[in-house]
Structure 1
Amino acid sequence: MISNLNAHVPAQDYQSAHFQAGRFQNLHPTEPTSLRKTLAITWRFFTESKVAAEPEQTLPVRTLTRAELEALPDTGVHIVKLGHSSVLLKVNGAYWLLDPVFSERASPFSFMGPSRFHQPPISLDELPDIDKVLISHNHYDHLDKEAVKQLNAKTQQFLVPLGVEGDLIRWGIAAEKIHAFDWWQEQEDQDVMVAFTPTQHFSGRGLSDANRTLWGSWVIKTAHESLYFSGDSGYFPGFKDIGERYGPFDYTLIETGAYDADWADIHMTPEQSVQAHLDLRGKIMIPIHNGTFDLAFHSWYDPLERVLSAAQQQGVVLNTPTPGDVITINQAYLNQAWWQSLLAQVSR
């Protein structure tokens, strides 16, 4: 929600069906952003009291080393939640990063803005060479400028929404390493298919660049595994369209956090996140976009408690790993509601 007054405003004219008058559009109407609404939400952040917005205790994080990653089999798909929406994948031996955010704050400023509840389970320096970095949209909690710059030397490809390539080029990434996607565009690379699919959200890193770049989600399919990564989205009929075209999915990584009535059409409640998983024809759901930054008015654990309850009511299989846990698609796992032990300690 914090803007950078000096953010660049792209001037490109994209040949896209949902790019009109210099800005990208959602498939379905959403409440337009206005200065009045932005000021009202900002006032809430400064004046509204919060309960348990940040954890009182140290959150569990499993430290991960490069040696442990290299010891994982070079077949199949291995998933590591790094925190918030940042995810590390090992896909048939190649390493991928989804929305890698390693900075202390999800903010354009180093001295203010939402700060981390926990450190990443592995540092940027410790990471092995990266085959692909996939970005869902350009908000600060998904596109980390310093992380991108540090990853440049060890990354072969950056897959980004239309418009975001301009940011990366200005940050020193070579244009030939960047692949910009419109919705429904696909890339086949060494028997792995990726597709950029719609979400209902918005973009912008400043006061004047709203919706100048695209936003979306990612589908990843190998010969034997399939994965969906939501980025950020309000609940919308597009989830069913994606499920019909690309499902079923072995795992869905679904946004579950930072929801509020003031922005209900661009972020989902946990109950809607579970429904999105069902629409996508997912088998196992990992809730992301929670447990790392305070970006809304609910408690830090509310997304996890509510998504667990909704999943149980809907018969959805949930996996809630701590940062650093390794999950391998098509292998058994032991799921634990790790946050509940912390809540029990606080209530004593």
Structure 2
Amino acid sequence: MKQKIFKTLRRSQPRNPYYQGPASDHFDGVRFFSPVQAVDKRPGDVLRWQKERKPTPWPQSFPSPFQDKPPATVPGLRSVLIGHASFLIQVAGLNILTDPVFSERASPLAFAGPKRVNSPGIALKDLPPIHAVLITHNHYDHLNLKALGRIWREHRPRLIAPLGNGTIIRSWYPEMDVESGDWGEGIDLGNGVSVHFTPAYHWSARGVRDRRMALWCAYVLTTPSGVIYHVGDTGFGDGKIFHDVRERFGAPRLAHLPIGAYELRWFMAPQHMNPEDAVKAFRLLGAEQALGHHWGTFRLTDEGVHEPPQALAEALRQAEILHERFRALRPGEAFEPHL
């Protein structure tokens, strides 16, 4: 009888369809987790959020004044916001995309979900030869499989993603070779550039039954032009992840930090920084320059479309940091450091 009960319980245990590997300090054998991050929201939290939220209306269109046509190669460093968390980083002769999303909606559905309010700041047809694509996690506003397929067909880049995400990508495109890594690991991209998987305070899901079954991350790029730190999504938490980046790699020359999708604060704080948090992260990193993203393209939360850059300006003023050192970018806007 006991054996029968044990077998029934074993069959009822959830199975991770994306990744099977040994347990670690951030993987329990089925789900990934951040040791210092709050647990998943309970149904009561979601109901409270729905009851308390007072979303500020967004415009149907919020076009950017910028549209970039990047050069084929850059010997130094150039970074352009395509939109949301999608960047083109050009460094040491390499062209690297982060979380390339070109779809009209950040959603599994073509007719519903957050709708883009501005065009990509670089058109797909205007991309230079792409050498690598970095995926931070599998949410629909960061992993756009159709766009990834087109980029693969036209450029054949190296695809880099944290553990489990390669299975998701190959379920659509079995021919794609995805190089996966865990927090603390790194991959050599050539030309003196390496990419390193670092922790973020976030989560993952593509559906309702796969929460935290694929890993999420931020990236550090060590390059001849300095350290570049790219965060797709994260909460501030205890700030340790930013302190640790500086301790391990040195102060970044450039940091891409999210500044949007943060209201209601009590609900969003564990997984999304607000501008005040982003400024605290900037100071912990000791970064020379920061670029604010993850705002003004897809409406995901309750703050107005103009609020993140306004709140960023106030947070910088309070911290006595020159606003030029932390710019809230619009799609198509480029950053090129002075030599």
| TM-score interval for Structure 1 and Structure 2 normalised by the shorter chain | 0.7 to 0.9
Count of matched residue pairs: 315
2:22 alignment partner, one of 10, 15, 21: 15
- 5 Å-filtered alignment, 1:234-249, equals 234-236=235-237, 237-249=240-252
- Asked whether the equivalents of residues 225 and 329 of structure 1 are also in contact (C-alpha less than 8 Å), the reply is no
Deviates more, 1:108-117 or 1:315-324: 315-324
Tell me which residue corresponds to 1:143.
143
CA displacement, residues 38-88 of structure 1 (integer Å, 9 cap, x when unaligned)? 4554x45xx95432x3237643232223xx422xx6311110011111101
SS at match of 2:131: strand
Compared with structure 1, are the counterparts of its residues 57 and 131 closer, same or farther at alpha carbon in structure 2 (3 Å cutoff)? closer
- Asked whether the equivalents of residues 250 and 329 of structure 1 are also in contact (C-alpha less than 8 Å), the reply is no
SS at match of 1:285: strand
Deviation at 1:218, TM superposition (A): 0.5
Structure 2 CA distance for aligned equivalents of residues 97 and 59 of structure 1: 22
Compared with structure 1, are the counterparts of its residues 57 and 202 closer, same or farther at alpha carbon in structure 2 (3 Å cutoff)? closer
2:299 alignment partner, one of 278, 294, 298: 294
Deviates more, 1:241-250 or 1:207-216: 241-250
Tell me which residue corresponds to 1:171.
172
Structure 2 CA distance for aligned equivalents of residues 78 and 240 of structure 1: 25
CA displacement, residues 155-177 of structure 1 (integer Å, 9 cap, x when unaligned)? 321100100000111111535x3
Structure 2 CA distance for aligned equivalents of residues 20 and 199 of structure 1: 17
Compared with structure 1, are the counterparts of its residues 88 and 245 closer, same or farther at alpha carbon in structure 2 (3 Å cutoff)? same
Structure 2 CA distance for aligned equivalents of residues 205 and 289 of structure 1: 19
Query: Identity across aligned pairs (percent)?
Result: 31
Structure 1 CA distance for aligned equivalents of residues 229 and 266 of structure 2: 26
1:329 alignment partner, one of 324, 330, 337: 337
Compared with structure 1, are the counterparts of its residues 329 and 173 closer, same or farther at alpha carbon in structure 2 (3 Å cutoff)? farther
- Asked whether the equivalents of residues 158 and 178 of structure 1 are also in contact (C-alpha less than 8 Å), the reply is yes
Tell me which residue corresponds to 2:259.
256
- Asked whether the equivalents of residues 101 and 143 of structure 2 are also in contact (C-alpha less than 8 Å), the reply is yes
RMSD: 2.0
Deviates more, 1:122-131 or 1:87-96: 122-131
- Asked whether the equivalents of residues 89 and 96 of structure 1 are also in contact (C-alpha less than 8 Å), the reply is yes
Compared with structure 1, are the counterparts of its residues 75 and 221 closer, same or farther at alpha carbon in structure 2 (3 Å cutoff)? same
Structure 1 CA distance for aligned equivalents of residues 18 and 214 of structure 2: 10
Tell me which residue corresponds to 1:55.
59
Compared with structure 1, are the counterparts of its residues 39 and 166 closer, same or farther at alpha carbon in structure 2 (3 Å cutoff)? farther
- Asked whether the equivalents of residues 77 and 225 of structure 2 are also in contact (C-alpha less than 8 Å), the reply is no
Name the aligned partner's letter for residue 76 of structure 2.
Answer: G
Deviation at 1:303, TM superposition (A): 1.1
Deviation at 1:186, TM superposition (A): 1.0
- 5 Å-filtered alignment, 1:38-77, equals 38-41=46-49, 43-44=50-51, 48-51=53-56, 53-55=57-59, 58-65=62-69, 68-70=70-72, 74-77=74-77
> TM-score, structure 2 length as denominator?
0.87
Which consecutive residues of structure 1, in runs of 5 or more, have no partner in the other structure?
1-7, 332-348
CA displacement, residues 217-252 of structure 1 (integer Å, 9 cap, x when unaligned)? 000121232211111111132211112111211111
Name the aligned partner's letter for residue 223 of structure 1.
Answer: P
Tell me which residue corresponds to 1:230.
231
- Asked whether the equivalents of residues 129 and 155 of structure 1 are also in contact (C-alpha less than 8 Å), the reply is no
Structure 1 CA distance for aligned equivalents of residues 114 and 233 of structure 2: 17
Name the aligned partner's letter for residue 129 of structure 2.
Answer: D
Deviation at 1:128, TM superposition (A): 2.5
Deviation at 1:13, TM superposition (A): 1.8
Which consecutive residues of structure 2, in runs of 5 or more, have no partner in the other structure?
1-14
SS at match of 1:272: helix
CA displacement, residues 196-232 of structure 1 (integer Å, 9 cap, x when unaligned)? 1001110001000000000110001212322111111
- Asked whether the equivalents of residues 84 and 293 of structure 2 are also in contact (C-alpha less than 8 Å), the reply is yes
SS at match of 2:290: strand
Matched, 1:272 2:277: yes
Structure 1 CA distance for aligned equivalents of residues 84 and 258 of structure 2: 9
Name the aligned partner's letter for residue 125 of structure 2.
Answer: D
- Asked whether the equivalents of residues 197 and 219 of structure 2 are also in contact (C-alpha less than 8 Å), the reply is yes
- 5 Å-filtered alignment, 1:106-255, equals 106-153=106-153, 154-175=155-176, 177-190=177-190, 191-236=192-237, 237-255=240-258
Tell me which residue corresponds to 2:42.
34
Structure 1 CA distance for aligned equivalents of residues 258 and 287 of structure 2: 14
Name the aligned partner's letter for residue 329 of structure 1.
Answer: P
